[in-house]
Amino acid sequence: MQNRLTIKDIARLSGVGKSTVSRVLNNESGVSERTRERVEAVMNQHGFSPSRSARAMRGQSDKVVAIIVTRLDSLSENLAVQTMLPVFYEQGYDPIMMESKFSPQMVEEHLGMLKRRNIDGVVLFGFTGLGEQMLGSWQSSLVMLARDARGFASVCYDDEGAIRVLMQRLYDGGHRHISYLGVPHSDVTTGQRRHNAYLEFCQQNALPAVAALPGLGMKQGYEKVADVLTPQTTALVCATDTLALGASKYLQEQRIDGLQLASVGNTPLMKFLHPEIVTVDPGYADSGRQAAMQLIEQINGRSEPRQIVIPVTLS
């Protein structure tokens, strides 16, 4: 591109040596207040900013991280990404985006590419089928979201808590026949944990459990909600917003009224389309922030990988 100035230019312009400029740039000690001020003055007078590539070459870190989402149009992941971007920018990291489309193979390809590019770290939105072995040598520079993996840092939602909160609210509202629409147990967090929490609550409160676990999609909610409706059913808990969206569509079409829906989610779309649904916020927004912060701490060696659980919020 055009002639960007270098520390050499700044040095010349402020009448000092290159290394002094370098020291000022990195806030190193050993520079007199006077020279520091003078150099800084010259620097922002000319809008100087050091070359990333040159620093990267010396320092081994190019200050780039990757965010691997499952799908760009995932409502929940969007909320998380929205909060993590500002954190990365603030710390000077460039976040590059990748999409896995729920394919372990794509994740593997992406990680390979990232490894070759010598990237600093990765935030990976977990999903079923992701083997821990393919995450290879990323232990120290990867944060997994929405799922935990042994040896890796992770930010998870309180799956059991979310369901318990929903169930309790429905129970307190007088509901005694609460059905459940969820995700297969092959999905440990959204599937197994939430379903188990449902079953447990039913057992503890002597409620009949009526559940189906069709999957993650809207269409699956739409097609399978009928399976969990009995003549006694007065409420329905959905494991995700997306399922609830599908279920609602069916209920509307069938003109089935008077059924209280509840879901884990709290996404803006849901709040607009169906404000009447009882929701809990699993903390998507918070999870993004936390994941970004955790990753940065690990990159800087200020933290070991650790598991973070986001508390549920009423909404």
Binding site for its own copies (CB under 8 A): 1, 4, 47, 49, 51-54, 56-57, 60, 62, 64, 67, 72-73, 75, 78-79, 81-82, 85, 89, 94-99, 113, 116-118, 218-219, 222, 245-246, 249, 252, 268-269, 272-273
35 touches, from its own copies, DNA, none (C-beta below 5 to 8 Å by class): DNA
Calpha distance 93→62 (Å, rounded): 8
Verify binding: residue 301, DNA, rule CB under 7 A.
Answer: no
State the DSSP string of 114-130: HHHTT-SEEEEE--TT-
Q: Using CB under 7 A, which of 41, 45, 51, 117 touches DNA? A: 51
Tell me how many residues contact DNA (CB under 7 A). 28
- Residue written as token pair 């000319």: 46
Closest CA to 198 of 212, 217, 186, 216: 212
307 touches, from DNA, its own copies, none (C-beta below 5 to 8 Å by class): none
Strands 178-181 and 210-212: parallel
Question: How is residue 300 annotated by DSSP?
Answer: T
Q: Which is nearer to its own copies, 118 or 254 (CB)?
A: 118
Verify binding: residue 230, DNA, rule CB under 7 A.
Answer: no
CB 269 within 8 A of CB 286: no
φ, ψ of residue 123 in degrees (nearest 5)? -105, 120
101: tokens are: 């489309």
1 touches, from DNA, its own copies, none (C-beta below 5 to 8 Å by class): its own copies
- Residue written as token pair 């009447």: 276
Q: Using CB under 7 A, which of 59, 136, 208, 311 touches DNA? A: 59
Please report, as residue ranges, which positions from 4 to 33 form the binding site for DNA (by CB under 7 A): 4, 6-8, 15-20, 22-23, 25-26, 29-32
Q: How far is the CB of 22 from DNA (least distance, A)?
A: 3
80: tokens are: 């998380």
Verify binding: residue 101, DNA, rule CB under 7 A.
Answer: no
Calpha distance 277→261 (Å, rounded): 5
Q: How far is the CB of 13 from DNA (least distance, A)?
A: 12
81 touches, from its own copies, DNA, none (C-beta below 5 to 8 Å by class): its own copies
Calpha distance 307→154 (Å, rounded): 5
CB 208 within 8 A of CB 165: no
Question: How is residue 152 annotated by DSSP?
Answer: S
- Residue written as token pair 């690990």: 298
Verify binding: residue 46, DNA, rule CB under 7 A.
Answer: no
Identify which range of 55-63, 155-163, 210-218, 280-288 contacts DNA by CB under 7 A.
Answer: 55-63
Residues in contact with DNA by the rule CB under 7 A: 4, 6-8, 15-20, 22-23, 25-26, 29-32, 34-36, 50-51, 54-55, 57-59
